[in-house]
Amino acid sequence: MLLTAAVFTFVLLLGNALREILPLLIEGQATFGMVVQAFALLIPFVWVFALPMGMLTATLLVFGRFSADQELTAARASGVSLVSLVTPILILSLLLCGISALVNLEIAPRCRVAYNSLRYDLKAVLANVQLPAGRPIKEFQGYIIYIGKNRKQNLEDVLIYVLEGDTVQTKLNAPRGSIEIDTPNQRMVLRLYDVKIIDFANNLVGSAGEWPIALDLKQKSPEKTGIRDMTFSELQRELRDLESRINLPPAMPQTPPQERLARVRELDRHAKDITERIRVQIHRQMAFSFACFGFTLVGIPLGIRVHRRETNVGVAIALILVLIYYGLIVAGESLSARPEFAPHLLVWLPNFIFQAIGVVLLWRANRGL
């Protein structure tokens, strides 16, 4: 189970951090430490999917070989039933459901928010690092910067005006310069060499061999966490706040009664749509937590029925079952805008289907059918 969960975790990471972070490492725009941090933050998020998939695959592989090697026949001949053999594994699956609940409801959303913040900050740095040549740069408060040429962060013909309000206080002119990026602190150090300095405030003229200027790259982060990245407690709090505002008319004293009523109804519909999406997300997080138990109930009898030792057969069956399970989940989520279908309850349907089928198949396998 640990091996299969690790494999699925790595595969799922390929589609996230490798696509978004590794290219920046190769280009020298991100440090190795940032890549490691991004991977660490994404692991709990992908475990939402990797842990149930790993449990299902491990169950199919173990019981496929268990049946193919005639060990089940030997156990039955010794008077040991299949139910007594699989009871510890069912208990393990329930324990994994508890771990999944902790990860799904609290740890994974927090890690996902931290990962998005890291990626956003990195993009903000990179957006500001590209100092264009040939035009004034006014993005940094207190400075106007002109660059003649920018050759991979090696600058030529740099002219900088230091402002106080709208007044130029100091003029810096350098034939060359360089850029150093301090990504963790969101700063860029612009180093000028052989600088000529004119201080207009004090009527002074001077020069310096090196003149560092620290530019702040911090930008405003995303204002609000998305619904899919909220923890269970945050979703519940958001749901309570929205429900308390529904049917409370906003203050519109100058609005005609008919227009006010139409506006209130429109706001109510919008709030109810958001409320239903939040309710679906709450139930989705909880439903995902019980995937390990349903997968185990189905995987044990299926592994016995397949009666194969080959690993690729077990992995193929596991992938098919996972696609069916998550396909049903996605179908339920797609109806979040149709509250009349109770989509927050439909996301539980895959669990009920898998557990019901698993119980029937396990009962039949226990009787030797």
Taking only the tens place, the pLDDT of each residue in 272-294 is 667 777 888 888 888 888 999 99
**Which parts of the chain sit beneath pLDDT 70?**
16-31, 119-132, 139, 152, 183-186, 217-226, 242-273, 309-310, 336-337, 369
Q: Are residues 118 and 136 in the same domain?
A: no
Q: What is the Cα–Cα distance from 57 to 68, expressed in whole angstroms?
A: 16
286 in any annotated domain: yes
231 in any annotated domain: no
Q: Decide which of 198, 216, 234 is a domain's last residue.
A: 216
Does pTM surpass 0.85? no
What pLDDT shows up at residue 58? 92
Q: Decide which of 164, 192, 216 is a domain's last residue.
A: 216
CB-count exposure of residue 109 (10 Å: 0-12, 13-18, 19+): buried
235 in any annotated domain: no
Q: Are residues 118 and 265 in the same domain?
A: yes
SS (H, E, C) the chain: CHHHHHHHHHHHHHCCHHHHCHHHHHCCCCCHHHHHHHHHHHHHHHHHHHHHHHHHHHHHHHHHHHHHCCHHHHHHHCCCCHHHHHHHHHHHHHHHHHHHHHHHHHHHHHHHHHHHHHHHHHHHHHHHHCCCCCCCECCCCCEEEEEEEEECCEEEEEEEEEEECCEEEEEEEEEEEEEEEECCCCEEEEEEEEEEEEECCCCEEEEEEEEEEEEECCCCCCCCCCHHHCCHHHHHHHHHHHHHHCCCCCCCCCCCHHHHHHHHHHHHHHHHHHHHHHHHHHHHHHHHHCHHHHHHHHHHHHHHHHCCCCHHHHHHHHHHHHHHHHHHHHHHHCCCCCHHHCHHHHCCHHHHHHHHHHHHHHHHHHCCC
294 in any annotated domain: yes
Q: What pLDDT digit, counting tens, does each position of 240-276 carry?
A: 776 665 554 444 445 455 554 555 455 455 556 677 7
Q: Are residues 9 and 119 in the same domain?
A: yes
Q: Are residues 122 and 153 in the same domain?
A: no
Place of tokens 């029937």: 360
Q: Are residues 22 and 157 in the same domain?
A: no
What pLDDT shows up at residue 251? 46
Q: Are residues 183 and 84 in the same domain?
A: no
Q: Are residues 207 and 274 in the same domain?
A: no
* Counted domains in the chain: 2
What pLDDT shows up at residue 250? 47
Q: What is the Cα–Cα distance from 121 to 39, expressed in whole angstroms?
A: 16
Query: Do the Cβ atoms of 177 and 190 come closer than 8 Å?
Result: yes
Q: Are residues 120 and 263 in the same domain?
A: yes
8 in any annotated domain: yes
What pLDDT shows up at residue 26? 62
What pLDDT shows up at residue 97? 92
Q: Are residues 32 and 119 in the same domain?
A: yes
CB-count exposure of residue 146 (10 Å: 0-12, 13-18, 19+): middle
Q: Are residues 209 and 321 in the same domain?
A: no
Q: What is the Cα–Cα distance from 96 to 138, expressed in whole angstroms?
A: 54
Q: Are residues 342 and 295 in the same domain?
A: yes
107 in any annotated domain: yes
Beta strands at 167-182 and 187-199: parallel, antiparallel or unpaired: antiparallel
CB atoms closer than 10 angstroms to residue 346:
22
Give the domain extent around 354.
Answer: 2-127+254-366
Q: Decide which of 160, 187, 216 is a domain's last residue.
A: 216
343 in any annotated domain: yes
Q: Are residues 264 and 326 in the same domain?
A: yes
Q: What is the Cα–Cα distance from 300 to 294, expressed in whole angstroms?
A: 10
CB atoms closer than 10 angstroms to residue 65:
17
Amino acid at the residue 34: M
182 in any annotated domain: yes
